Amino acid sequence: MITGHNLENVSITGRGKLDGQGKAWWAAYLQTVKIREKSGIVEREPDNPEGCNLKYPRPGVINLYNCKNVFISGITIIN
């Protein structure tokens, strides 16, 4: 939902709710894990093989990589 790489001075604030719709993702993820294991893929990369419900591995709600000075406040994250 929210992704950033090599960012500085990031704020995610408010009184809102981020709903990752986890139930649908978990069902697709578990099916995908089985196919990945049968294909011999054990790490996060590469992309998922054909036949998976997910083109890419299951994402997180907030993914901030190699970021500096990040502030998250007042939000609710569910599912």
22-42: per-residue pLDDT in tens? 887 888 888 888 888 888 887
pLDDT band of residue 4 (cuts 50, 70, 90) is very high
Furthest C-alpha separation in the chain: 43
Alpha helices by DSSP H, listed for the chain, are 22-38
Sign, CA torsion 26/28/31/32: negative
pLDDT per position as a tens digit, 6-21 = 999 999 999 999 998 8
Q: What is this structure's pTM?
A: 0.61
Q: Indicate whether 71 pLDDT > 80.
A: yes
Domain positions in the chain: 1-20+61-79, 21-60
Average pLDDT, the chain: 86
Tell me if residue 70 falls in helix, strand or coil.
strand
Q: Contact 79/23 with Cβ under 8 angstroms?
A: yes
